[in-house]
Chain A
C-alpha cells in the first residue's frame, strides 16, 4: 500500500481565499484523523471519522473549517475564508481498529501558508 496520501504538499494562498486539503487513507482503514501542527500549540486534533462518519469535531477552530469524508477512500478539509493564523502543517492519519499492532499512519502533511 502507498500509505496515507495527502495533497498538496505545500499550499500558499492569500487571506480570504478558500483552501482545500485532500487525503486518501490507507485502504481498509476505518478511522481517519485530521491534525494541525503549529509551534505554539503543537499537534492538535481537529476532527476524526469512523467509517466515514464524523465522531468528534470539537477541535475544529470555528465555522470557517469544515471536513468531509464522502467515501472510505477520500477526505477533505476546507478552510473558507482562510486567515494568516491558519498557517500550519495539516496532517491526515488513518488507522484500523482492532488490527494486530494497531497504530496511527500519518500522511506527509500539507504545509499551509496564508499571506
Chain B
C-alpha cells in the first residue's frame, strides 16, 4: 500500500521569506500523481499544486513550486515571498494511475507565518 510521510509537524517562516515543506512517499508504481493541499483555519481544503510523475518538469503555480525527485520519492513544496495568508495546514497527497485508486494523504505540516 502507498504511504505518504511529512516529517515536519510544524514549520514557521518570516513574512516575505521562503520556506520548504517536505514530503516523501512510498510506492511501487511508475505512474502516479502528487498533490499539495492547503487547509486554512476556515477548514476548506484547497488544491495548491499538482504534479504528474511522468513529467520531469517541476510544477509551479505563482509563488508555489515543487521539487519532485522521482528516484528519491520526494515531493517538497517551496513557498516564496511568504504571506500571512499562507498560514495553514499543508497536506501532501498521492494517487496512483490505476483506475480504482484512492487519494492517500500525509499527516500534514502546520505552517505559521510571522509578521
Q: Which of B68-76, B77-85, B96-104 contacts A (4 or more CB under 8 A)?
A: B96-104
Of B43, B91, B99, B103, which contacts A33 at CB under 8 A? Answer: B103
Residues 14 to 55 of chain B near chain A (Cβ within 8 Å): 33, 35, 37, 43-45, 47, 50
For residue B37, which residues in chain A have a CB less than 8 angstroms away from its CB?
A: 104, 106
B44 in contact with A108 (CB, 8 Å): yes
B35 in contact with A50 (CB, 8 Å): no
Give the B interface residue count (CB, 8 A).
19
Given A89-B43, A108-B43, are A42 and B102 neighbors across the interface (CB < 8 Å)? no
- Binary interface encoding of chain B residues 88-108 relative to chain A, with 1 for a CB under 8 A from any of its CBs, else 0: 000101010001101111011
Q: What CA separation (Å) do A33 and B101 show in the bound complex?
A: 11
For residue A115, which residues in chain B have a CB less than 8 angstroms away from its CB?
A: none
B107 in contact with A42 (CB, 8 Å): yes
Across the two chains, which residue of chain B brings its CB closest to A43?
B105
Of B45, B99, B102, B108, which contacts A56 at CB under 8 A? Answer: B102
For residue B102, which residues in chain A have a CB less than 8 angstroms away from its CB?
A: 33, 45, 48, 55-56
Across the two chains, which residue of chain B brings its CB closest to A98?
B99
Contact count band on A: 20 to 34
**Which of B37, B93, B102, B104 gathers the greatest number of chain A CB atoms within 10 Å?**
B102
Q: What CA separation (Å) do A108 and B93 show in the bound complex?
A: 18
Q: What CA separation (Å) do A42 and B110 show in the bound complex?
A: 12
Residues 53 to 84 of chain A near chain B (Cβ within 8 Å): 55-56
Give the B-binding residues of A (Cβ under 8 A): 33, 35, 42-43, 45, 48, 50, 55-56, 89, 91, 93, 95, 97, 101-104, 106, 108-109, 111
Q: Which 8 A-B residue pairings sit nearest by Cβ, starting from the closest?
A: A106-B45, A42-B107, A43-B105, A103-B47, A104-B103, A48-B102, A109-B43, A108-B44
